[in-house]
Copies of this chain bind each other. A is one copy, B any other.
Amino acid sequence: MTSDRVLASELSTRVGHDVTIAGWLHRKRQLKAVTFLIVRDATGLAQVVLSGPAAPSAAELTEETPLSVTGTVAASARAPGGAEIVQPVITALSEPAEPPPFDLYRPVVTASLPTVLDHAPTSLRHPRLRAGFAISAASVAGFRAALDAAGFTEIHTPKIVGSATESGANVFGLDYFGRPAFLAQSPQFYKQAMVGVFERVYETGPVFRAEPHDTARHLAQYVSLDAELGFISGQQDVMAVLRQALAGMVAAVARRAGPEADLLGVRLPEVPAEIPQIHFAQAQDLIAREAGWDPRGEPDLSPADERFLGDWALREHGSEFCFVTGYPMAKRPFYTQHDPGRPGYSVSFDLLFRGLELVTGGQRLHRHRDYLAALAARGEDPADYASYLEMFRHGMPPHGGFAIGLERWTARLTGALNIRAVTLFPRDLHRLAP
């Protein structure tokens, strides 16, 4: 089958030929003298026209039954793609399918999100639900291609760790051969270590947060697109790599998931050569001056602040992306570089995309003595970090990095209101299956 099979997207190039297609029976419409079958495969829809008797009888062909169809391709203005199959011989490839939990052939998804998620293995066959995951796959491929071209090496780090070091909260505990262990909340420590080995590294893998919040943007597992690079002269080098990665992601969506982006009405952003930047303190000043509220004194940006800055970047700079730099140290992890010229502020950034935080990054400490001082300042015992701290004793260069949340990116790109709609089999406070 595989070798001779023609895909739905290729049908219009085979007019006049005998071909075999395969897929799921997406829709059956029985009129008086004729039956139309729409067959769905990975590339789209193909129309099959039956007039008169066909075997197996069309009555047995229930929607979602996998089948193959051999017949002659005829041009047809009414058919998807401009061609259809006539005089078909139909072979069912499995037993007749039971009706799916909701109609997969309707252009719009008629089920609620919980129903979609409860039946995800079937639901995701719907072209609109499937599309987000084609966009995700393309985005990850674009991320890797951009970083490969910039001399990065891919790594695969442990997801089971011995201590909940990065942040004691929101961590999943595990029984590891009778010892306590934890699921990694990020590959942070490992990607820093691998800067010592490859200088520039990335990882595209799962991270885990025991998020007690039941919101539209929190997940217990998500895909983190992580990068870290050494021998930087400052965080601008990190931000420049992030810009390359984003440009690669956008280009890959256009190239590899164009039809899916079109189906969802996705408007791809332009990634400007220079993404506008604003310092955290200046951003708060700007908001206090121009918005209807005064955020000064707050250690972080609120969602309203982020929306305001997203609008500001678009209005003033024509950019849907915006860097906010210099977040207060109070809200950044202990390994973040302090800004020597601005006490209390860090050398770190968030990237806002369409008014929402998409990426967090920054420059890290690289001197062993700075780590000891940072831990002491937070009242933490360096012994708890012994395995992490060792690399800094043996010479680490100035370095930094960032992490992009894949599902957050896809959600923002597709306009999904709930991140679960673009998460493959999401895990949250309530959901552990399918």
Q: Which of A's residues lie within 8 Å of B, judged by CB? A: 1-2, 5, 22-25, 41-42, 62, 64-66, 68, 93-95, 97-100, 119-122, 124-125, 130, 133-134, 136-137, 140-141, 144, 148, 151, 153-163, 172-177, 179, 181, 183, 190, 193-194, 196-200, 205-206, 208, 210, 212, 220-221, 223, 230-233, 237, 366-369, 387-388, 390-391, 393-398, 406, 424-425, 427, 429, 432-434
Residues of chain B within 8 A of A393, CB atoms compared: 97-98
Q: B369 touching A42 by the CB < 8 A rule?
A: no
With the chains together, A24 CA to B396 CA distance in Å? 8
CB nearest to A65 among chain B residues: B395
Residues of chain B within 8 A of A394, CB atoms compared: 64, 97-100, 122
CB nearest to A199 among chain B residues: B42
Q: How many copies does the complex hold?
A: 2
Partner of A206, one of B23, B159, B194, B230: B159
CB of A121 to closest CB in B, whole Å: 4
CB nearest to A434 among chain B residues: B387
Partner of A137, one of B94, B154, B173, B196: B154
Partner of A66, one of B1, B153, B396: B396
Q: B121 touching A196 by the CB < 8 A rule?
A: yes
Q: B175 touching A173 by the CB < 8 A rule?
A: yes
With the chains together, A395 CA to B62 CA distance in Å? 9
With the chains together, A158 CA to B190 CA distance in Å? 21
Residues of chain B within 8 A of A42, CB atoms compared: 151, 153, 198-200
Q: A156 touching B223 by the CB < 8 A rule?
A: yes
- Given contacts A122-B394, A173-B175, is CB(A22)–CB(B66) below 8 Å? no
With the chains together, A206 CA to B173 CA distance in Å? 18
